[in-house]
Structure 1
Amino acid sequence: MEGEMSERQEWSIEIEGMTCDGCAAGMDRAFGELAEVVASKTSYDEGRATVVTEASLGGDDLKAAVEGKGYRVRAITARASSTGEGASREGVDYDLAIIGSGSAGVAAAIKAAESGKRVAIIEAGTLGGTCVNVGCVPSKTLIRAAEARHRAATTPFAGIETSAAGVNFAALIRQKDELVAELRQAKYADVLAAYAGVTVIEGHARFAPSGELAVDGEPIRAASVLIATGSSPAIPPIEGLADTPYLTSKTAMELEALPEHLVVIGAGYVALELGQTFRRLGSRVTVLARSRLLSSEDPDVGDALFGFLSDEGVDIRLATSATRVEHTDGRFSLQLRGPEGETTLDADQLLVAAGRRPNTAGLGLEEVDIELGDSGEIRVDEHLRTTRAGVFAAGDVTGDPAFVYVAAYAGNLAGDGAINGVGRRYDTSIVPGVTFTDPAVASVGLHEHAARERGIDVVVSKLPMSYVPRAIAARDTRGFIKLVADRETKLLVGAQIVAPEAGELIQQAVIAMKFGIRTDQLAGLLYPYLTTAEGFKLACQTFGKDVAKLSCCAA
């Protein structure tokens, strides 16, 4: 797996006093004047430099270089260098071997291939990973299909008559499968084929005790390795469940017939998205929530969604758990424990959507001392390095937010670090998330209770969508925009939105948080009238005034 390592060290230096990107570039030039420095990357945004040096260079020399430019060293640490510039590429088949072909793996492969490196992608299943095959793409197209039927059956406008016929579920699933196949070919197979340095290898990868990586027993010699094996549905330890033909998010979207009654165990985004989808397509749906809906979100979010989903006929049972599951003669029987005590529930289909677990089994990680966390995730540092020299990990397998865009970002960063030497720091401090229910849920940062628990003195703005002109005109005023800001600085620390197409609004909060735009500055911007985006301006105005007393378009 690994080439011979030269005697080098990698230093992480926290620097105070830089004021611009030019300062960082000047710092790199100063490091470069030291003969023992192999490479350096200094970031003004992060206030940090990563420097690879020969082992003979000491920390005092690097500190002197920093102080020579008029800056201060807050902290300096060193570790043995074994990747990027510190690793030999001689005597290997590939510069980078990637286990997994999902978003993280493909992003890493592209990054390495763009640098002219030789890359192997090892895939034991279907090319493309979760998102395109069994996650984002198939679920969102079914959600839109269900929405089309729902819109046909309901209208808020006088004089408009609509109706919705039955559903040819098998035809809908076939169309979904066709879309998945098209995107898998266009966005994964064809993309990888465009890079001459990338080789896709089918088979199971596993580390040997020697540290060697093998595919179905055949050794693969690679200078660096990236583990990007993703995650799978987590199955709770409910008595009898394992002996039944329960559905997961994957198999639920492969059914040939629409369930008469679907019971959903779980109350996270997958459970609610699919639960509402099947309800709108014609199934009776019961959702079992151990506590409340979307328990990681602001309680206001789950409370609002409870009402909207209940209005559509979804039977939601809060604080209710399944204690036993049986399957007899094509029917499920569940024993439940909830506010009403012990009860039973029957259904023809059971969907388990109770979270996800990292895919680490069968990789031989314990053979090479790659440490796992309490939930089975691979432990990584701020550069996505594992506890094994030369081995990186990225995406869901590290236990980070299970979003395809986070995985792609992580894969790109890890691929860069494995090939060119670490420098960029993995940062998930500002990650937006969207739940594609209707109305949708979008959030970023902290909700008000979490912010106060951290000791932040916050001020909160909560604007009902009934104050947004676009929502009024569309006769759909479901939801709210809730902003949480630091009282003193007026900077956002979080945002929670429940609204149709909430995902189209949340990026305003992301940009404001990333670049330090105050709420009063946002309130002073010009927004086109009768757009949903205008609601964000109104929510910012709500910090300082009663928007009910404003006329249309009032500044």
Structure 2
Amino acid sequence: MPSPTDYDLVILGGGAAAFAAITEASRQGLSTAMVNTGLPIGGTCVNVGCVPSKHLLAVAEHGAAASDNPFDAVTYTEEPTVDWTEALDGTDEIVERFRQENYVDVAEHFETDIYEGYGQLIDDTTIEVVDGLDKGTRIAGEKALIATGSSPWAPPIDGLDDVEYYTSETILDERDLPESISIIGGGYIALEWGQILHRVGVDITILQRSDRILSGMEVQLGREIQRAFREEGIDIVTGNDFQQVQSAAADGGTEAIQQGVTVETTVDGDSRVFTAEALFVATGVQPNSQNIGLEALGVETEPDGAIRVDECFQTTNSDIYAAGDVIGEPELETVAAKEGNHVVKNAFGDEGATIDYNAVPAVVFTSPEVAAVGTTELEYMNEHGTCSCRTVQMEDVPRAKAVKNTDGLVQVVKHHETDEIVGVHMVGPRAADMIMEATLAVKFDLTVDDIIDTVHPFPTFSEAFKQTCQTFRRDTSKMSCCIE
């Protein structure tokens, strides 16, 4: 076996955390190399996550434009149709361009060596490619970063392993969509893909285990998006106690996903059966931490497989760091990038860089959009025994009324003594963009009066945040459009 090639930093993985790390490493004049396996270079977000799903959400939204038209002055002579194969071809083109421009070209610019294949840590900071294109290659560094990401996770439901089902990755390979799909799950992946598929003509039923969708977010958000989905024609059933999944085909053969899948469940004590042509499992992800050599090197993991790190992203092996989805929630591309950046600062500069996860916004890119940052009403109540919270409905916001796009709400949670904004939760048009002002408010301890005192453009959806802050000070039903 040849001696390993030496670098300052070696990385197992090729996604957002890895590329943020090589960017910071280049700034510090450090040499880097990465071993990439599984998904093409760029990881989940560019290949099977953010980029393709947001493109297809836009395609589906335009496909549904005629049915969603609220204006009597606008008429359509015929309904638009969506060519799913053409939509996926367009997605592939965008993904390939992003991958080349944002990852391959970036790695070349920073003079990072990329090795393709399945990598394992065989020494504290030595990675060997044990299978794949560059099998047999060894790279060693002063420090090592594990950034192997995550993969779709399926729950232990009886029979699930015996049927074929879609995930957020495999659905991108399906050119011939079925007429109906049951989706198990009620988080952002289930909702985004449920709306995409519904709007391109698939009959969708969403089956959620807990008593509400978006169960990790503010209660009102799940309730509001559930109402909007049902109005659109997407069936949502919550409170499922899943009993069994099986092929609807008589022979139970390998063609089950084409012939039908039945989900047997109990809802409020009643047995129910949901049958569709296909099944989509969207129940979250699991860290890619198996079979990469962790145990032999003293790198500990949590019960769910997430690599255990301290606040500076150092593992239980002092020479090895970890970042991104492989260390657990929140599994967000932007968070992975920030973590990867901080790894290099901490490993080579001892900067002690950390992340305030409470000030990280979460977004669901459905229509209407869902966005949140900071503390929920329930979390605040549990901590303080009281809550100073206000909610404004989008139907009371001037811009929303003017454009007849009034689905949604904004809730602000403030500290009951200092008036500092500690949480903002919203459903509505442009919520994904509006949440950034709220994020700054939470991050920098702004008060509701700071937001009220800030002049907002009129009429905009962003005024909904200001208007919600104003409800702490006045009766906003007795207020002209842009007072203060």
TM-score bucket of the superposed structures, by smaller chain:
over 0.9
TM-superposed CA distance for 1:417, in Å, is 2.0
TM-superposed CA distance for 1:192, in Å, is 0.8
Say whether the 8 Å CA contact 2:60–2:82 is kept in structure 1.
Answer: no
**Secondary structure of 2:114's partner?**
strand
Say whether the 8 Å CA contact 1:128–1:184 is kept in structure 2.
Answer: yes
Match for 2:271 among 327, 333, 342?
A: 342
Deviations 1:180-202 (A, max 9, x none): 11111110001111122x10011
State yes or no: 1:233 paired with 2:152: yes
State yes or no: 1:354 paired with 2:248: no
Aligned equivalents of 2:191, 2:125: Cα separation in 1: 43
Q: Which residue does 1:131 correspond to in 2?
A: 45
State yes or no: 1:153 paired with 2:78: no
TM-superposed CA distance for 1:323, in Å, is 1.9
Q: Which amino acid aligns with 1:127?
A: I
How many matched pairs?
464
Say whether the 8 Å CA contact 1:384–1:426 is kept in structure 2.
Answer: no
Match for 1:202 among 99, 116, 122?
A: 116
Change (3 A) 1:554 1:422: closer
TM-superposed CA distance for 1:467, in Å, is 1.3
Match for 2:242 among 295, 309, 322?
A: 322
Aligned equivalents of 1:504, 1:543: Cα separation in 2: 23
Deviations 1:421-475 (A, max 9, x none): 3432343231101001111110001111111111264311100111111000011
Report the structure number with the largest CA radius of gyration. 1
Aligned equivalents of 1:144, 1:167: Cα separation in 2: 11
Q: Which residue does 2:23 correspond to in 1?
A: 110
The residue correspondences of 1:155-554 to structure 2 (distance < 5 A) are: 155-162=69-76, 163-196=78-111, 198-208=112-122, 212-216=126-130, 217-291=136-210, 292-327=212-247, 328=249, 330-339=259-268, 341-455=270-384, 457-554=386-483
Say whether the 8 Å CA contact 1:127–1:189 is kept in structure 2.
Answer: yes
Say whether the 8 Å CA contact 1:321–1:338 is kept in structure 2.
Answer: yes
Say whether the 8 Å CA contact 1:149–1:280 is kept in structure 2.
Answer: yes
Q: Which amino acid aligns with 1:201?
A: Y
TM-score, structure 2 normalization: 0.93
TM-superposed CA distance for 1:253, in Å, is 2.3
TM-superposed CA distance for 1:482, in Å, is 0.3
TM-superposed CA distance for 1:148, in Å, is 0.6
Aligned equivalents of 2:67, 2:170: Cα separation in 1: 27
**Secondary structure of 2:182's partner?**
strand
Root-mean-square deviation (Å): 1.5
TM-superposed CA distance for 1:488, in Å, is 1.1
Query: Which segments of structure 1 move beyond 6 Å, counting only runs of 4 or more?
Result: none
**Secondary structure of 1:249's partner?**
coil
Aligned equivalents of 2:98, 2:326: Cα separation in 1: 23
Say whether the 8 Å CA contact 1:147–1:280 is kept in structure 2.
Answer: yes
**Secondary structure of 1:536's partner?**
helix
TM-score, structure 1 normalization: 0.81
Change (3 A) 1:156 1:426: closer
Aligned equivalents of 1:321, 1:192: Cα separation in 2: 47
Percent identity of paired positions between Structure 1 and Structure 2: 37
Change (3 A) 1:209 1:527: closer
Change (3 A) 1:262 1:326: same
Deviations 1:188-238 (A, max 9, x none): 001111122x10011111123677432225432211100000111111111
Change (3 A) 1:429 1:307: closer
Deviations 1:378-403 (A, max 9, x none): 01111100001210000111113011
**Secondary structure of 1:526's partner?**
coil
Aligned equivalents of 1:441, 1:479: Cα separation in 2: 9
Aligned equivalents of 2:24, 2:273: Cα separation in 1: 53
Give the gaps of 5 or more residues in structure 1: 1-90
Say whether the 8 Å CA contact 1:95–1:419 is kept in structure 2.
Answer: no
**Secondary structure of 2:64's partner?**
helix
